Structure 1
């Protein structure tokens, strides 16, 4: 069931990216280089592809919303698995898991089409 408007998803995208990039210092794992870099790269990446998404808060509207949601889902899977993939699960686990799971859920509940200028909204 897709109930989240793309405008709200856009706001969440930018806030999520900033929060993920700040998480090493907020959650106290900045001394774990792999965990820190994964958080920074994934956060910056999300902000970057959000800026290029064709939705209400995109700056350069070239990436279709369905592709954006695929990136959110795949990125969420990799982010949630990153503690195991990059060998820091014994030091940092939950921030990456929770941010990744959030991204996976967001891709499943967001409308596929933005309102933009047409006023079209995908039926729920």
Structure 2
């Protein structure tokens, strides 16, 4: 598979998706439902996405401490969890389309962004002293 989402577009879209997830109970009109997974799960995952976006090591990250490969991996996990959550927590009768659409978007973003561990080829380990390292091959270590 080939990645087709540029990292700058991904970084901006990550903020937008996080804000939409946080505001989704009010945007999609299911705040009248009792407090439960339908109300709180999108908000929790939205805050998680926003914190990851702020700390990510990309052009729009403010603190730049979180590696992009880890961010992409956690996007795939949280996107697939949000995608399946209406049936896991049995609130599909209340609402499911916002979670399915936004969860699928996060899942696709995590897989197809440039530099994602899901679309990049396998790393070749290099010998660094007595240890095997992929960091030197990727230019993360100064030799």
TM-score (norm: length of structure 1) = 0.86
The two structures, once aligned, show a CA RMSD in angstroms of: 1.2
Structure 2, unaligned runs of 5 or more: 117-143
Structure 1, unaligned runs of 5 or more: 114-124
The runs of 4+ residues in structure 1 deviating greater than 3 Å are none
> 1: CA distance between counterparts of 2:48 and 2:32?
22
Which protein is richer in helix relative to its size?
A: 1
TM-score (norm: length of structure 2) = 0.75
Alpha-carbon offset, residue 87 of structure 1: 2.0
What is the number of residues matched between the two proteins? 113
Which protein is richer in strand relative to its size?
A: 2
Alpha-carbon offset, residue 45 of structure 1: 0.6
Q: Which structure: larger Rg?
A: 2
> 2: CA distance between counterparts of 1:31 and 1:72?
29
Higher relative CO (CA 8 A, sep ≥ 6), structure 1 or 2? 1
Q: Secondary structure at the match of 1:20?
A: helix
